Amino acid sequence: MRRFITYGPALVVLITATVTLLAAPAAIRRMQLANHVAQVALARERLDHDNLLAHINRATADVAEAVGPSVVHVEWRSGSDGREFRRGSSSGSGWVYNDAGYIVTNAHVIRGAESLAVQFFDGHVERAELVGLDPATDVAVIKVDPGAGVIPVRRATGHPPRQGDRAFAFGSPFGFKFSMSEGIVSGLGRTALGVTGQGGYTNFIQTDAAVNPGNSGGPLVDVYGRVIGMNTAIVTSDSPQARTDAKSQSAGIGFAIPLDTIESVVDQLIAGDVILRGFIGVRLRDITVSGDPSGFRGGAIYVEHVMPDQAAAKAGLRAEDIITHLDGERMLTNDVLRARVSAKRPGEVVMISVLRAGETLEIPVTIGAARMTARYNLLPVEPGEKPDQDPALAALERIGDVVARYGIADLVASDRGVKLSMVRPNSRAHEHGFRSDQIITHAGGRVVMTPTDVYEVIAMLEGSRVAVRVVDENGDSRVMHIDARSE
């Protein structure tokens, strides 16, 4: 019997499969596209109606609007009409402290200035007068005529920042006036060697908000638009710590002077008083505790000596006590403890936690007062006393002003000598070859390790050119001359 083989059904199946295979990707793509369209529409709807980022944007913009009108750009000026900026002038930032026209900035920004001009956010410029400055803490106060009114910035008095808090830095980085950057409080109680000035005060706030040359003196604020500190220095690839007016740019580590230090100094400068520091009368050193019967372990501060008749002795602190906390805040180094105490006002009571013979004690201490000497040591003063400034200190600060007018605006101690932390561009010092980050190892033939050492030599040779040996960043050494004569 003849058999007939038909290919029809198989061909139909093959064609159907082929069509399906060819059409399926397009269908899948259409389905995927429809899904993406739906997802985009849903995302846009959520962004339009419940957008957390928009809330954050609005809050950040509110911080800018709340703080910006209180930030100022500060520059030197020359000329009797006050319209021309001085060649080689320094510039920085500042912020309005109160409605009487007082403005706070860094001492190194305006030290040695012959005249000052302040530009406000709306572009208008006012002449400013120096009220006073404190090189030890790098805080200065200038004043403008409040005229039709100024807008003081809010301050976070009594609300210290915490690590991780969002922070905003304001100022004029690289001359871009009234700028704002954002970051967090990266750390507290930082010691920034080479930034602490002649008095050695530390306890800086560390932030990763962009801080660059020109930000010096600008406020660091919290999410409520309240000042928590003042920008003063940065860590750079060229220099472990540099003033924000030096040549380098930020590497993401900036330092700010905390508000409690600023307020304690500013109020005394405005009052015209000699600056008094909080003082308790102890000699301290850092230690690490382990195996204490109390169970405490870690960094702490050992009391080596207690001065008779001073605040610590009157409160009952003893030699060999171990200090762990101040007002509930952990104290890891004596530098930070000293800075915290110095920022307190005389008569204020603090609670100091100590370990003694295996027990933890809470000791209330009433803060005393001390003034600074020419060697930047603290000398106790009696309660309520209004002392005169140490004449030797006044003389050295006057020399510091002369050197600043020459163009070396800031000197700081380093382990190799005295670092030129800030040399103003196009100043006489700059024209004579001085540059930021150079190290002075000798002055007048003497080894120098502190700014006071340099100023003392210049004071002895005032009115002449002072020979100094300078080491540059490449390690090359040469003799140069600081011209301390009048222009």
Give the model confidence (pLDDT) of 235-282 as tens digits: 655 454 455 554 555 567 889 999 999 999 999 999 998 999 999 999
Identify the active-site residue in 73, 93, 108, 342.
Answer: 108
Identify the active-site residue in 179, 181, 216, 414.
Answer: 216
Return the structure tokens found at 396. Answer: 């050295």
Burial 11-35 (b: 16+ CB within 10 A, else e): eeeeeeeeeeeeeeeeeeeeeeeee
Read off the pLDDT band of 303 (50, 70, 90).
very high
Q: Do 68-273 and 277-381 share a fold?
A: no
Query: 237 an active-site residue?
Result: no
Where exactly are the structural domains of the chain? Answer: 1-50, 68-273, 277-381, 391-483
Read off the pLDDT band of 84 (50, 70, 90).
very low
CATH topology of domain 68-273: Thrombin, subunit H (2.40.10)
Q: For position 87, what pLDDT does the model report?
A: 45
Give the separation between CA 211 and CA 180, rounded to whole angstroms.
9
Asked if residue 198 lies in contact with residue 450, where contact means CB atoms within 8 angstroms, the answer is yes
Superfamily of domain 277-381: PDZ domain (2.30.42.10)
Query: 216 an active-site residue?
Result: yes
Give the separation between CA 270 and CA 153, rounded to whole angstroms.
17
Whole-model pTM: value is: 0.83
Q: Which residue has the higher pLDDT, 275 or 377?
A: 275
Return the structure tokens found at 384. Answer: 């309520």
CATH number of 391-483: 2.30.42.10
Read off the pLDDT band of 83 (50, 70, 90).
very low
Query: 477 an active-site residue?
Result: no
Identify the active-site residue in 89, 90, 138, 342.
Answer: 138
In sequence order, what are the beta bridge partners of 359? 356
Give the model confidence (pLDDT) of 222-240 as tens digits: 999 999 999 987 765 545 4
Read off the pLDDT band of 364 (50, 70, 90).
very high
Give the model confidence (pLDDT) of 162-206 as tens digits: 999 999 999 988 878 889 999 999 988 887 655 555 555 678 999
Q: For position 459, what pLDDT does the model report?
A: 86
